[in-house]
């Protein structure tokens, strides 16, 4: 099954090409013409370098052309195309198409994974302004305890952040419950706490209840997302952008982990003494645990 030639993502791309055609340079027109005529599923799996080669330009020209067409970058285009793809195609069929695209050449597999990872990370870097990072760090620096929420593919990033926060001397815990089980965890959110929500795209009922609970008790919220900024932006204190994967070639949590690491490093520099002291204690405890192991006969 293929993406429909009249899907919303394809229609928007072709309309943007028509509307912006006169404003494009010759090389950007070559890119735009290729994008508008290529099979949508081939764009979904292509890297900027591959699109540059196919259009007789360069990866930099591809990125520039996409920005002139109104996209933040190639991952933004892929996300729109992918939404049509994932809603119309069963997961096992998408997996088969992904495998067919990648093939069995180890060099191609290596390149595809690193190309998409680089695109997503660069996209996250462009979409997260300094003031957004500053707001998020400010919220967490003042928090008495930080609750890191993430389920399914977002669990990895939420667990990573909670663990790393503890290692720099910040009180933190991971929360990953859903349904009725989440209510017990919501009771633990207090005034002066902060909540970091990792949720790329789907507006889960749990997210709304979690945000409302935090606001009700006087806790502050940082949202790390790809598509939910507009929906929740007015109800949270800071939004950080972590683009999700349009193809499934790279891990969903990849950009969330990188953005979380930027926040963690910023918090570390704000209170170096606490971080260093906690690191020293952690090392001492590890040494005690290693020393207490029984020796083999």
In the predicted model, what is the mean pLDDT of residues 31-51? 86
pLDDT for 91 beyond 90: no
Task: Name which of 10, 7, 15, 152 is nearest 87 in CA terms.
Answer: 7
CA pseudo-torsion sign 89, 92, 98, 99: negative
For the chain, what is the mean pLDDT?
88
Confidence band of 47 (pLDDT split at 50, 70, 90): confident
Single pTM value for the model: 0.75
Task: Name which of 151, 140, 175, 129 is nearest 264 in CA terms.
Answer: 140
How many Å separate Cα 264 from the centre of its chain?
Answer: 16
Distance, CA of 74 to CA of 64 (rounded, Å): 10
What structural domains does the chain harbor?
8-97 (1.10.10.10), 130-286 (3.40.50.10490)
pLDDT for 239 beyond 80: yes
pLDDT for 154 beyond 90: yes
pLDDT > 70 fraction of the chain, expressed in percent and rounded: 89
Per-residue pLDDT reduced to its tens digit, 110-148: 888 888 898 889 889 988 888 999 999 999 999 999 999
Supply the pLDDT for residue 1. 33
Per-residue pLDDT reduced to its tens digit, 253-268: 999 999 999 999 999 9
Distance, CA of 206 to CA of 105 (rounded, Å): 42
In the predicted model, what is the mean pLDDT of residues 168-181? 97
User: Where is average pLDDT lowest: 6-15, 31-40, 191-200, 278-287?
Assistant: 6-15
In the predicted model, what is the mean pLDDT of residues 217-229? 95
Per-residue pLDDT reduced to its tens digit, 65-77: 999 999 888 888 8
Per-residue pLDDT reduced to its tens digit, 17-29: 999 999 999 999 9
């Amino acid at each position: 099954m293929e993406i429909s030639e009249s899907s919303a993502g394809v229609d928007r791309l072709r309309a943007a090409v028509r509307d912006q055609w006169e404003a494009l340079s010759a090389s950007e027109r070559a890119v735009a013409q290729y994008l508008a005529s290529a099979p949508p599923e081939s764009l979904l799996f292509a890297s900027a370098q591959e699109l540059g080669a196919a259009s007789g330009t360069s990866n930099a020209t591809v990125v520039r052309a996409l920005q002139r067409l109104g996209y933040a970058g190639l991952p933004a285009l892929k996300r729109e195309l992918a939404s049509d793809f994932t809603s119309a195609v069963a997961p096992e069929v998408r997996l088969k198409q992904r495998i067919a695209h990648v093939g069995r050449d180890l060099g191609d597999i290596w390149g595809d994974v690193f190309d998409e990872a680089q695109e997503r990370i660069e996209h996250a870097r462009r979409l997260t302004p300094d003031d957004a990072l500053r707001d998020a760090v400010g919220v967490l620096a003042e928090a008495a305890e930080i609750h890191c929420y993430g389920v399914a593919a977002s669990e990895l990033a939420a667990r990573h952040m909670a663990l790393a926060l503890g290692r720099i001397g910040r009180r933190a815990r991971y929360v990953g419950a859903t349904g009725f089980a989440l209510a017990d965890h919501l009771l633990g959110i207090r005034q002066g706490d902060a909540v970091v929500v990792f949720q790329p795209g789907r507006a889960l009922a749990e997210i709304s209840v979690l945000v409302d609970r935090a606001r009700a008790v006087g806790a502050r919220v940082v949202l790390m997302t790809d598509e939910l900024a507009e929906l929740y932006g007015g109800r949270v204190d800071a939004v950080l952008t972590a683009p999700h994967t349009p193809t499934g070639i790279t891990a969903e949590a990849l950009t969330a982990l990188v953005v979380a690491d930027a926040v963690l490093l910023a918090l570390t520099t704000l209170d170096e003494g606490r971080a260093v002291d906690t690191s020293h204690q952690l090392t001492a405890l590890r040494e005690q645990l290693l020393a207490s192991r029984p020796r083999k006969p």
